[in-house]
Structure 1
Amino acid sequence: MYVPKWMRTRVSKGWMVVLAVSAGASGAYYNYFYGKPHDNYKLEHDLVNKTYIVVGASSGIGKETAKELAMRKAKVIMACRNNRKCIEVRRNLVIATKNMEIYCRRLNLEDFNSVREFALKLNTGKGNIEQIDGIVYSAATAESSRQTNKHYIERTFATNHLGPFLLTSLLYDRLRKQSSPVRLVFLNTSDLNLDELNFDDLNSADLTKWLKSPEKARKDAYYQSKLALALFVKSLSEKVKSQFFSRRLNSLQSLLFLN
C-alpha cells in the first residue's frame, strides 16, 4: 500500500501551518478552526461555551494548544497520561490565562482500558461535558527500544495509532448525533519516509532489526504508526462525507524531533 497522492500534497501545504503551531499554536488554530490559510490571526476570537479536549496537553504542542484555547475562554479538558504533571501544568495555565475551566482527566492512549474508560465517561455524560466542540490528538511517542503495552502491542504503534483510532471510534456515534459540529485534529509528521505499511510486521516484532540497528528500528516503528494514523484520518474523512453530516477533519503536519 503506497502513500497516496493526497498525503504527499497535504504535507507540503501544511508546512507553514506547522511553524505557527510550534511557535505557539496560535495562527494554526485560527486558520484550521475558523478561517482560511491566509487569514490574519486574531487573539480576541471568543470560544466561550465551547469545550475542547486536548490529548497530551501536559507538554509541547498540546500544552500550547491548551493554553491558547483557555486564553479564548474555552473549557479545556487536558487528557493526560501523567495526572500529577497534568495538575501542575493546569495550575500554571489557570494563572496565565485566568480561566478556571481547565480540567485534568487521565487518559493513557497505549492502555486500551484507559481509553475505554475515558470514552465511557464522555458517552454517559460524566465529567461535566455536555458537548464536544473539538478533540486535538497531540500525544505521541517514539520508543528507544522495543517495548510492549499490557496488551502485548508495541507501544509506539499503540500510542500513536491504535489509541486515537479506538477513542475516535468509541466517540463516533456521540459526535455524529451532536447538534453542533465538532473538529477533530490529528497531529502527524511531515517526515513520513515510508512508502508502505509493513502488514507482516505492524507490531515491529522483528527483534533482529532492533538489535542490528535500533535507531532505524525506532524510526521505522514511529513512521509506520504515523502512516497508519494518516490513512485512518483519510478513511474517516471519507466516511464522514458519505454520511452527510457536518464534521471537519484535519491531519495537521508536524516535525518529528527524536531525542
Structure 2
Amino acid sequence: MNTHILVPLIASLSAISASGSILMLDFGPTTAAGADLTNSPYHTVAGGGFTDGSWNKIEKADVSSLTWSGGGTATGVSVNLGVAPGSGTPTVVNYATAPNSSSALGTLWPSGGGIYAATSVGRDGIFGVANQSLGIQITGLAAGIYEIFVVGRNTNTGSTIANSYVGAGVAGENFDFSGLTPISINYTAATSTAAWIEGVNYSKHTITLAAGQALNIATQGTDADSQFRGFMNSIQIVQQVPEPSAALLSGALLLPLLRRRRA
C-alpha cells in the first residue's frame, strides 16, 4: 500500500505548544508579579492548562540570555532591538539603533485591574521618539510554524491606531516591512480592558520560519496619536508542535502499513 497517503493526514492533525517552545517578552521597567504573570493574550487563548509565568524583561538593550515560558534556558536565542527613523510612517527597522524610551505608562488606568493591572505586561512598554516605528529581531528559533501575540499600545493615550507587522528575514539585516500587510487595531477609551480579545486589544500573526531564519516584528503608530510612534508592551512567540495524541495516532496508522509492505 502507498504510505504517502499519510502525509496529508498527519499534517492535518491538531497541534499544541509546550513550555520549551514559548518565548514571552515583557517590555518596559515594571516587573510582572502575582496574577499578572498569567494575565496575557496567550494565557487567555490556551486556557487554564497553561500556567507558565517566566517572562523576559526587556527595556532599551539587546538581550541574549533568555528563558522559555516554563523557566528553561532558551539556548542560542537572542533579541535585538531597533527603530525605524524617518518622517510620517517609516518602514525600515535599523537594528543598529535601539529605542530610547522605557516607561511605566498606564496613566489612563491608575488603579484599574483587568488587562492593564498595576504590573500587567500590557501596561508598561518601550518606544522611540516621534516618527519612529519600533522593531525587534529574534534569532536562534527552530524552524516551524509560529503564532505571534503582539500587545503594542500607548496606554497613556485613549485613542490611537496601532499597526503590527511580522516577517522572516536574515539575522543582522534590517527589516523593511513596507511590502507587508499590517494588522491594525483601533484603540479608543471604550476599548475593552476586562479581558484580552484578539483584534480588539492585541494582534495575532502566524508565520513559518525556515531553518536559520530570523523572526522580525515591528509596530508602527499612525496620525491618530499625532507622533507616529510604535509601542511594544509584550510579545509572546508560540511554536506549534504536534499534539502527543496526534503523534500516537499517526504511529498507529503507519505501523500496519509498514508491516503490509514487508509481507
- TM-score, structure 2 length as denominator? 0.29
Higher strand share: 2
Q: Higher helix fraction: Structure 1 or Structure 2? A: 1
For the pair shown, the structure with the greater C-alpha radius of gyration is 2
Q: TM-score, normalised by structure 1?
A: 0.29
Structure ranking higher on relative contact order (CA contacts 8 Å, 6+ apart): 2
